[in-house]
Amino acid sequence: MQTWDMGIKELQDETQDESMNTELLTVNMGPQHPATHGVLRVEIKTDSEIVAQAIPHIGYLHRCMEKHCESIDYRGIIPFVDRMDYLAAMNQELVYSMAVEKMLGTEVPRRAQVIRMIVSELQRIASHLMAFGTYALDLGAFSPFLYAFDEREKILRFFEEISGARLLYNYFWIGGVWNDMTNAHVSYIKDFLDNFEGELEKYDTLVSSNKIFLERVNNVGVLSVEDCFNYGATGPVLRGSGYKWDLRKVEPYLLYDEVKFDVPVGTGERGSTIGDCYNRYIVRMKEMEESVKIIRQCLDMLEPGPVIGKVSKVIKLPKGEIFYRQECPRGELGIHIVSTGEKTPYRVKVKSPCFTHVSMLPFMAPGQMVADFVATIGSIDIVLGEVDR
Amino acid sequence: MHNDIASLINSSVPGANASVVNPPEDGAGDSSVLVDSSKIYEVCEFLKTNDKFPFPVLQVISGVDYVEYFEVCYMLASFNLENSYQLILKTQLKDRENPELQSVVPVWAAANYQERECYDMIGVRFKDHPDHRRILCPDDWEGFPLRKDYEVQKVYRGMEVNPEAKMNFEDREFEVRKKEMEADLLKRQLERGH
């Protein structure tokens, strides 16, 4: 058995001899570290190259958005929700506005629903492209990052045209969407999708089937379905462990029950184990293919009509509370709104998938090499804006 | 379904006093199940392991400050592909000075971070928590931000919090003016209506 195949326990057993005992070394990874995807500090205690313990320290980006929400009216909260997960702002807006609509009982016009689906799936692609690019960057491959940003840029350009902003959109309003899509937009998206399918094949040959990449991610950070349930993991992390759970399929919202798509899960192909970094990664890549399918079907469903429903000028939610969740690119985002019938919410609480996934790091880290730990952080794809809120 | 769960809890965990809370008549939203705070651990353990309505996943713990009491909501989900359901499990804490609950970390590992956040934001302490610290705010921060009577501390480690020179008072004044204008407008509209 080679030293790098041993866990920390075996290594300690090996070095029972007093003179051979190694001292644990504390290393701070972050808060400014390229591999932590933002301002996350992970305090790692290492035994030579093996991580014995990892303690994430979060909160560097804490803006207490939940407190702010208590003093802002319901429409004004949407820009705040944007700033949680700034890489998938459209999806966050969708969860929030649909939670409010559910409380109000607002009917959203069909065209608005189709546009919402198109836009949120495009956002999912953009977010997964970012995850793909930075993950390759973490593992030492620079060019996939540039290819991914090339495609992401095209999506952002479309978002800029439709909403006026590149990153934080304020595009989904309560009752519908702010701006209508034109035929030019439709043909732009069609062109993008035609080109993008070829790009996906390119990523597959460039990264997904690359021997060096596979060696880095196979059998690293394995999570079973039970672990995922225990820690409350959702999204690609849960699906990477082989559990076919997708809220778009299980509890369809919008018009997801009218389109045909598959839920990709980790299958342990190319020499990997189900639930390891590779499977979490490949689930995202396959999800992009599914998103392309969904958008194509949605473009055919577009019919002329209004894009915003009837909503009163001053929104007052009826008394009560709601917990509403949806499938966002990084997992299930839930919003708990407590209303006392005022113009402002009494309490807004966000269930952030990234927060849940960060809590798994101390569980996954022990026994890993430091370089594998970097691969593990990248594979759960966290955005610190959402962790800290 | 919530009625079934409440009666199931009552029959299996004595003293839990589970009752269904429905949204008010003029309201909307989800109903929930309220249990006694002293039996929260037993109830959670039972909900996770029972055969009829198992809840293998704890999604989030959300604390709400209702001024007279604190409410801690546990959002549970089945994650069952055939039968997906979820539950808002609630408990109330009347003690404002020293609110305390039994930690449910042994039941769901997810509770570790969620309880820490709940403590950080609302100030509810969790008994027997393995790592009871603040999570988002610094460890030596004073007060609990999401309480309704929270006031930001003036000085933190020798630094002035929200220094006047750096505050944007124009925006605040504008907000106040806007509120006055809105109230004025509403008044005039009402006068015109009658």
The three state secondary structure string of chain B is CHHHHHHHHHHHCCCCCCEEECCCCCCCCCCEEEECHHHHHHHHHHHHHCCCCCCCEEEEEEEEECCCCEEEEEEEECCCCCCCCEEEEEEEECCCCCCEEECCCCCCCCHHHHHHHHHHHHCCEEECCCCCCCCCCCCCCCCCCCCCCCCCCCEECCEECCCHHHCCHHHHHHHHHHHHHHHHHHHHHHHHHC
Q: Quick check: B110 and A59 CB within 8 A?
A: no
Q: Quick check: A232 and B24 CB within 8 A?
A: no
Tokens in use for A160? 């800029």
CA angle, corner A164, sides to A160 and A169, nearest 5?
Answer: 85
Nearest by CB: B145 against A67, A244, A346: A67
Per-residue pLDDT tens digits for B123-157: 888 888 888 888 888 888 888 888 888 888 888 88
For A347, the enclosing helix (H) or strand (E) is: strand A347-351
* pLDDT above 70: percentage of residues in chain B: 99
Chain B residue numbers with beta carbons less than 8 Å from the beta carbon of A250 are: 81, 84
Identify the structural domains of chain A with CATH numbers, from first to last: 65-388 (1.10.645.10)
Tokens in use for B157? 């480690």
Q: Quick check: B146 and A67 CB within 8 A?
A: yes
In DSSP terms, B89 is beta-bridged to B33, B74
Is B132 a domain residue?
A: yes
Distances (CA, A) of A111 to A101, A178, A251, A298: 16, 12, 21, 10
User: For position B8, which CATH number holds?
Assistant: 3.30.460.80
Is B139 a domain residue?
A: yes
Does ipTM come in above 0.85? no
* SS3 category, A368: coil
Residue B74: closest CA among A81, A334, A331 = A334
Per-residue pLDDT tens digits for B89-115: 889 888 888 888 889 898 888 899 999
Contacts of B100 (CB under 8 A, 6+ apart): B93, B124, B125, B126, B127
Q: Which residues does A contribute to its contact with B (CB < 8 Å)?
A: 58-59, 62, 64, 66-67, 102-105, 229-232, 243-245, 250-251, 317-323, 325, 332, 334, 336, 338-339, 341, 346-347, 349, 351, 355-356, 358-359, 363, 388-389
The Cβ of residue B54 has, within 10 Å, a number of other Cβ atoms equal to: 14
Distances (CA, A) of A188 to A156, A192, A267, A369: 12, 6, 34, 45
Nearest by CB: A323 against B75, B121, B138: B75
> What pLDDT, on the 0 to 100 scale, is given for residue A206?
87
DSSP assignments along A2-47, one per residue? -GGGS-HHHHHHHT-SGGGPPPPEEEEE-SSBGGGTBS-EEEEEEE
Is B77 a domain residue?
A: yes
Is B183 a domain residue?
A: no
Q: Which residue has the tokens 């959702």?
A: A234
Is B156 a domain residue?
A: no
Is B121 a domain residue?
A: yes
Q: Quick check: A349 and B32 CB within 8 A?
A: no
Q: Which residue has the tokens 């290819």?
A: A147
> What pLDDT, on the 0 to 100 scale, is given for residue A5?
56
Given a cut of 60, whether residue B27 has pLDDT beyond it is yes
* Helices of type H across A251-305: 277-301
Tokens in use for B161? 């919090």
Q: Quick check: B28 and A351 CB within 8 A?
A: no
Q: Quick check: B59 and A232 CB within 8 A?
A: yes
How close, in Å, is residue A119 to chain B by CA atoms? 27
> What pLDDT, on the 0 to 100 scale, is given for residue A3?
52
> What pLDDT, on the 0 to 100 scale, is given for residue A18?
58
How close, in Å, is residue A202 to chain B by CA atoms? 34
More confident residue, A218 or B173: A218
> What pLDDT, on the 0 to 100 scale, is given for residue A19?
58
Tokens in use for B134? 């603040």
Tokens in use for B150? 């929270």
How close, in Å, is residue A206 to chain B by CA atoms? 35
> What pLDDT, on the 0 to 100 scale, is given for residue A1?
47
Is B56 a domain residue?
A: yes
| Domain total of chain B | 1
> What pLDDT, on the 0 to 100 scale, is given for residue B180?
86
Is B163 a domain residue?
A: no
The Cβ of residue B124 has, within 10 Å, a number of other Cβ atoms equal to: 24
Q: Quick check: B62 and A336 CB within 8 A?
A: yes
Mutate to test the interface with A, among B25, B45, B59 (most CBs of A within 10 A): B59
Task: Please report how the helices A277-301 and A183-203 are oriented relative to each other, as an axis angle in degrees rounded to 10.
Answer: 160
Residue B20 touches partner A, C-beta closer than 8 Å: no
Residue B5 touches partner A, C-beta closer than 8 Å: no
The Cβ of residue A165 has, within 10 Å, a number of other Cβ atoms equal to: 15
Residue A324: closest CA among A311, A337, A313, A314 = A337
Mutate to test the interface with A, among B44, B48, B60, B81 (most CBs of A within 10 A): B60
Rounded distance, CA A103 to CA A107, Å? Answer: 11
> What pLDDT, on the 0 to 100 scale, is given for residue A124?
92
Q: Domain limits at B63?
A: 2-147
Q: Quick check: B113 and A66 CB within 8 A?
A: no
Q: Report which residue type is found at A374.
A: V
Per residue of chain A (389 residues), give pLDDT as tens: 455 555 656 655 655 555 556 778 888 887 777 666 778 888 888 888 888 888 888 888 888 888 888 888 888 889 888 888 888 899 999 999 999 998 888 888 989 999 999 999 999 999 999 989 988 888 888 888 899 998 899 999 999 999 888 888 888 988 888 888 888 999 999 999 999 988 888 888 888 888 888 888 888 888 888 888 999 899 899 998 989 888 888 888 888 888 999 999 888 888 888 888 899 999 999 999 999 999 999 999 888 888 888 888 888 888 888 999 999 998 899 999 998 888 889 989 999 999 999 989 898 888 888 888 888 888 888 888 888 88
Q: In what order do the strands lie in the sheet with A347-351?
A: A320-328, A331-339, A347-351
Query: What are residue B110's phi and psi, to 5 degrees?
Result: -60, -25
> What pLDDT, on the 0 to 100 scale, is given for residue A126?
92
Rounded distance, CA A224 to CA A203, Å? Answer: 27
Distances (CA, A) of A150 to A88, A164, A228: 17, 20, 33
What DSSP character marks residue A208?
I
Across chain B, mean pLDDT equals 85
In DSSP terms, A27 is beta-bridged to A44
Mutate to test the interface with B, among A230, A237, A248, A250 (most CBs of B within 10 A): A230
